[in-house]
Amino acid sequence: MGHNTVILAAGRGTRMKSQRPKVLHRLAGRALLQHVLDAAAGVPALRTVVVTGHGADEVEAAVAASGCVCVRQMPQLGTGHAVQQAAPALDPAAATTLILNGDVPLVTTATARALLDACGGERLVLLTMTPADPHGYGRVVRDATGERVLAIVEEKDATPAQRAIGEVYTGMMAAPTAALGRWLARLGNDNAQREYYLTDIVAMAVADGVPVAGIAVVDETEALGVNSPQQLADLERRLQRRQADALMTAGVRLADPARFDLRGTLECGADVEIDVGCVFEGRVVLGDGVRVGPHCVLRDTTVAAGARIDAFSHLEGASVGTEARVGPYARLRPGAVLGDEVHVGNFVEVKNSTLARGAKANHLAYLGDATVGERVNYGAGSITANYDGAFKHRTVIGDDVHIGSNCVLIAPVVVGEGATIGGGSTIVRQAPAGQLTIARAKQVTIAGWQRPRRPGKPGGSASGGG
C-alpha cells in the first residue's frame, strides 16, 4: 500500500522581510524545511514531493541530498494549485497522500503517522487545533453532532458566525490518493483571494460520501507556522525549551533552561552541569561529570568524563580528555586534541594540535600544528610560528619540556624531551633533550642616549603613535 508525502514549500514569506526563501530560515540550526523532512522520514514514503516556488533554485539545492522529487509552482496561486503541481509526480500505487507544510517545522513523526493511520486510504483526515487566537486560520465547520467535518472555510470568506468557531485547520492532512486526484481536478478559484484552496476538497469529499475526520494535534506547537521573525523567534524558544526539558528529564543540570541553545545533537552522561548562555552546535558529546561554564560555544566536540569547560570558551572540532580543564576564554579550533588532565587556560588558542596527558598552556598562548608531549609547561605569550607564507609546518615538543614565557618556536622544529627553552627565545633549530636552550639578543645599555625631540619643544618625552 504505502503512501506519498507532499511538502508545500513554495511561499515567498513577505513578512520575513528577507531575500532568503522562507522555508530556508533556520530553527535550532537547521532550515525549517529540513525539520519537516526529518519528521516525514520517520514514516518513509514511496515518494516524497516538495513543491517549490519562490527561491526554487536555492530550496531545491538545499533538499537535493534527501532524495525527494521537486516540482515548481509558478506562479503561486494557492495551496490547491500547489498540490495540483505535485499530483503528476505522485506514486499512484500509494493508497494515501500525506500533505505537510514546509513552514510548519515542529510537526512530529508521531503526528504524521496518526494522520496516515486515521486515513487508511479511505478517509480524508485533517489535523486541527483550537488556538487561543484563531485569526488567520480556516475554520472547521462540523455537523450538529460535532462528529463529522462538513467544510473548511477560509477566514476571508467566513461569515461572522463561522469566524466565531474556535477549531481551525492547521494546513496538514492525509487523503486517499485516487480521490485526491479527482478533487484536485475540480478545484476552482471563486473566492475572495482568487486562489485555488486545497480546503475546498473537504466539501467535495462530503459530496462524494467520503468520510471526513478532524483529529486534534496533541501540542499546538507542532502546528504553528512561521510567517515573521517574531514567529520564528517564538518557535525557537519553544523548541529550545522542549530540548532542555528532555535533557533535564535525562538528568542533565541546566542552570536556566530559558538560556540554553541546542542546534544539533547533544549526548550527555551522568551528572553533567551546564551553566547559562551556552550554545551547542553539530554533534556534541559530554561525558560523566562534565561541567560547562557560562556562555560557552561547543561545536562538533567531544568532552570526556570529569572535564571542565570554563566561561566564554569556544570549542570547535575538538576532543577534550578526562579531567582536563579548558578556559576561561580559551579557543580550541578543529583538530585540537587534549589528553587527560591537560590544562588550556585563558586566551589560549589551539589548532590542529595534540597535547598529551598533563600538558599545560595556561595563559595567552598559541599552539598550531603542534605535537606536545606529557607534562609540558608551555609559557605565557609563547607561540608556534607554523606558517611560512605558503605551507604549514609542524612543531614537536617532547615530554617534560618547559617552554619559557614569550617564546617563538618557528616550525618545523623539534624540542627534545626534558628540554628547557629560556623565556623570550626564538627557536629555529632543534633544541636538544635535557638541556637549556636560549636564543635571544644580548642586552645592551647605551649610556647618554636621549629620546628624539621635536624642534621647539624642549624637555618632554616623544609622544607615542605613528
> At 354, is the pLDDT very low, low, confident or very high (cuts 50, 70, 90)?
very high
Alpha-carbon separation of residue 283 from 138, 186, 238, 302 (angstroms): 40, 48, 21, 8
- Alpha carbon 421 to its chain centroid, in Å, reads 44
Q: Are 431 and 352 contained in the same domain?
A: yes
Q: Are residues 184 and 274 in the same domain?
A: no
Query: Residue 460 pLDDT more than 60?
Result: no
User: What residue has cell string 609563547?
Assistant: 382
- Grid cell for residue 396: 614537536
| Residue 130 predicted with pLDDT over 70 | yes
CA–CA separation, 111 and 33 (whole Å): 17
Number of domains in the chain: 2
d(CA 163, CA 134) in angstroms, rounded, equals 8
- For residue range 256-265, list pLDDT tens digits in order: 999 999 999 9
- For residue 323, give the 3-state DSSP assignment: coil
CA distance 427 to 439: 6
Q: State the Cα–Cα distance between residues 92 and 107, nearest whole angstrom.
A: 25
Question: What residues act catalytically?
Answer: 363
Q: pLDDT by residue (tens digit) across 214-237?
A: 999 989 999 999 999 999 999 999
204 in the same domain as 123? yes
CA angle (232 as vertex; 125, 223 as ends), nearest 5: 15
For 360-415, the DSSP string reads: EEEES-EEESEEE-TT-EE-TT-EEE-B-SS-B--EEE-TT-EEPTT-EEESSEEE
Q: What is the mean pLDDT of residues 80-99?
A: 97
29 in helix, strand or coil?
Answer: coil
Phi, psi at 295, each rounded to 5° = 60, 40
97 and 208 within one domain:
yes
Residues 219 and 236 placed together within one structural domain of the fold: no
Residue 102's CATH number: 3.90.550.10
DSSP state of 444: -
Q: Are residues 273 and 418 in the same domain?
A: yes
Does pLDDT of 287 surpass 70? yes
CB count, 10 Å around CB of 53? 22
Q: Is the pLDDT assigned to residue 466 strictly greater than 50?
A: no
Angle between helices 109-119 and 32-41 (to 10 degrees): 50
Question: Are residues 100 and 180 located together in one domain of the fold?
Answer: yes
CA distance 222 to 455: 77
pLDDT band at 312 (very low <50, low <70, confident <90, very high): very high
Q: Which residue in this structure is represented by grid cell 605569550?
A: 381
Are 349 and 380 contained in the same domain? yes
Does residue 446 belong to any structural domain of this protein? no
- Provide the whole-model pTM: 0.89
CA distance 48 to 7: 8
Same-domain check for residues 321 and 380: yes
CB 320 within 8 A of CB 314: no
**Is residue 464 domain-resident?**
no
Domain that holds residue 185: 3-223
CA distances for 234 relative to 224, 237, 238, 239, angstroms: 10, 5, 6, 9
| Contact indicator for 324, 342 with CB cutoff of 8 Å | yes
The reported pLDDT for the residue numbered 459 is 58
Q: Which contiguous run of DSSP H or E holds residue 118? A: helix 109-119
> Of 223, 241, 273, which residue constitutes the final position of a domain?
223
Give the pairing of strands 26-27 and 30-31. antiparallel
Q: Contact 366/349 with Cβ under 8 angstroms?
A: yes
The backbone torsions φ and ψ at residue 187, rounded to the nearest 5 degrees and listed phi first, read: -65, 140
Asked whether residue 144 falls in the same domain as residue 63, the answer is: yes
Instruction: Say whether both 205 and 279 belong to one domain.
Output: no
Confidence tier at 202 by pLDDT (50, 70, 90): very high
- Residue 234 domain flag: yes
Q: Is the pLDDT of residue 56 over 80?
A: yes
